Amino acid sequence: MQLLLAPMEGLLDFVLRDALTRVGGIDRCVSEFIRVTNTLLPNRAFIRVMPELLNGSRTPSGVPVRGQLLGSDPVCMAENAARLASLGSEGVDLNFGCPAKVVNRHGGGAALLDAPELVTQIVSAVRRAVPANQIVSAKMRLGFNDDSRAVECALAIAEAGVSELVVHARTKADGYRPPAYWARIADIRAAVNIPVIANGEIWNVDDARRCQALSGASALMLGRGMVTDPGLALAIRADTPTPLAWEQLMPLIQDFWLLVCTTQESRQRAGRLKQWLNFLRRTYAEAEAMYQAIRTENDQARITAWLDSKRANRIITSPSHSKPYPT
């Protein structure tokens, strides 16, 4: 089985990709989208979103990363796809699924699913611009307001030259509300002649089994489920529901914080740690305790000292000076 790590704007960036791919079980990642408007982006714009380009398009643990582009102009998308390919990206991915209002308002992401003809033009232009030996892939939702054109859009993407397609089994209108309609992926698989990867609402091993059964897909893309349980890919491969032990996860959180402090703007740092802990507390009681301890703290030095004290495995006081609790 192939397991991919999803792109998630504002969450699953290169810092969290680094942490999650260290755990193991992930075959490939897709970057957050690189927004294309009306110009050819400079190299630094690609590297800012995907610094793995400076490491052979690999995370520090060696997992391939494919850059994703988001835009609606075929010519500009093609020019930027050629630039991304020239920088050594492990293929070029196209975003036809982003549900963000600001993106959709400008005709990008999931809004393109109401314009299959334009989708064909974008994919065709990108495929011509990217060297034949480099993969062009795409990610789509089932539709914008409904899924009535899901198969039509998938065919438009596949027949224009994409080599593989990820389908997030919800519409833009569905957002991230459960359920995901995995059976609709089976309809798309029956219509296209390229590999189709299933995505959406895979939180645990049982979800992965049911998604595979209903979609027929042999490959899965993991998003929020992997953020809440970093051992999910390994658990799916082993077919066991056992999550990663907290003792194994804690060093990753500390390394994540170190990388956040060296790569992110100071005003964003505390928020990034709280954001991940907020997801982790769905799986770990220890993450709930950590989140509550630093929830109101924004001082980098105090958070760092607090995390260091947890490494020492002693009773500590939270950086916001609340009551002590055992690590």
Residues labelled catalytic: 98
Distance CA 48, CA 192 (A): 34
Backbone phi, psi, residue 283, to 5°? -110, -35
How far is C-alpha 139 from the geometric centre of its chain's CA atoms?
11
Residues in the chain: 327
CA 321 to chain centre: 35
Evaluated on CA atoms 60, 35, 167, 104, the torsion sign reads positive
In this structure, how many other beta carbons lie within 10 angstroms of the beta carbon of residue 228?
20
Please give the structure tokens belonging to residue 60. 């520090």
The CA distances from residue 302 to 247, 264, 297, 319, in Å, are 22, 17, 8, 6
The two tokens of residue 226 are 């992997």
Report how far residue 7's alpha carbon sits from residue 17's, in angstroms, rounded to the nearest whole number. Answer: 9
CB distance 141 to 168 below 8 Å: yes
Q: Judge contact between 124 and 160, C-beta under 8 A.
A: yes
* Beta pairing partners, 96: 140
Tokens matching residue 271: 């928020």
Phi and psi dihedrals of 196, rounded to 5? -120, 130
Calpha distance 239→207 (Å, rounded): 11
